Amino acid sequence: MTPQQRTRIKMCGFTREADVLSACAAGADAIGFVLYPPSPRSVSIERAAELARWLPAFVMPVLLFVNDTPERIQSACSAVPGALLQFHGDESPEFCAAMSLATGRPHLKAARIPLSEVADFDLLEFALLHQQAQALLLDAHVDGYGGGGKTFNWSLLPPNVNAHLVLSGGLTPANVGDGIRALRTHGLSLAVDVSSGIEAAKGLKDANKIQQFVAAVRAADADLL
């Protein structure tokens, strides 16, 4: 299997050490910590730093922000060395690029894909505006921020996005393989991101679901060899 054929896996919304260890043991490539206080999965900067210390080599911490201040973003980066930034709100391309420059950290930008087929959203234009992002995270546009466990219509995405893509929004062990098969060639590469689909309750992960999710991703990879 070539590097391009292995789908990388980000798991997000961790609040407990045991869950972090389960995800790493199962094969997660990145572990996300939500630093958005209204979220039920939110942790403090100090708690994110504690959890990130359990990550082994080559598993990347990701810090999720929603319309946050530069000062708090920089504080979080100081507390969690080597973390990738994820901007999940209404941050402008200029703000995201400026924070990457100020912190020395690459960033992901969430593209909130409408659930309605008639809604106006141009992913190609979004990719052009956010071309300094390391990847675009494709999530469902629901009230508030985050996908809310909802899956958008994958077939509506253009097949020629000039960006690395991370599929998110309502992924589970049952449907992640379909998502990978549907969108594998739509961008420069495809990764996946899961939160609610591996949970027993909000912010509390289920070790069996974590293992099932990774197994489903690997099975989809094998199908596409």
**Residue 24 is which amino acid?**
C
Q: Could you tell me if 96 and 66 are in contact, meaning their C-beta atoms sit under 8 angstroms apart?
A: no
In the numeric block, which tokens belong to residue 219? 């099975």
Instruction: Answer yes or no: 12 catalytic.
Output: yes
Annotated catalytic residue within 19, 68, 139, 193: 139
Helix (H) or strand (E) holding 190: strand 189-194
Annotated catalytic residue within 12, 24, 77, 96: 12
What is the spatial distance between Cα 34 and Cα 141, in angstroms, rounded to a whole number?
18
CA distances from 105 to 68, 172, 208 (A): 16, 29, 32
Instruction: Answer yes or no: 96 catalytic.
Output: no
What is the spatial distance between Cα 153 and Cα 25, in angstroms, rounded to a whole number?
32
| Adjacent-strand bridge partners of 166 | 137, 191
Q: Catalytic positions, please?
A: 12, 139
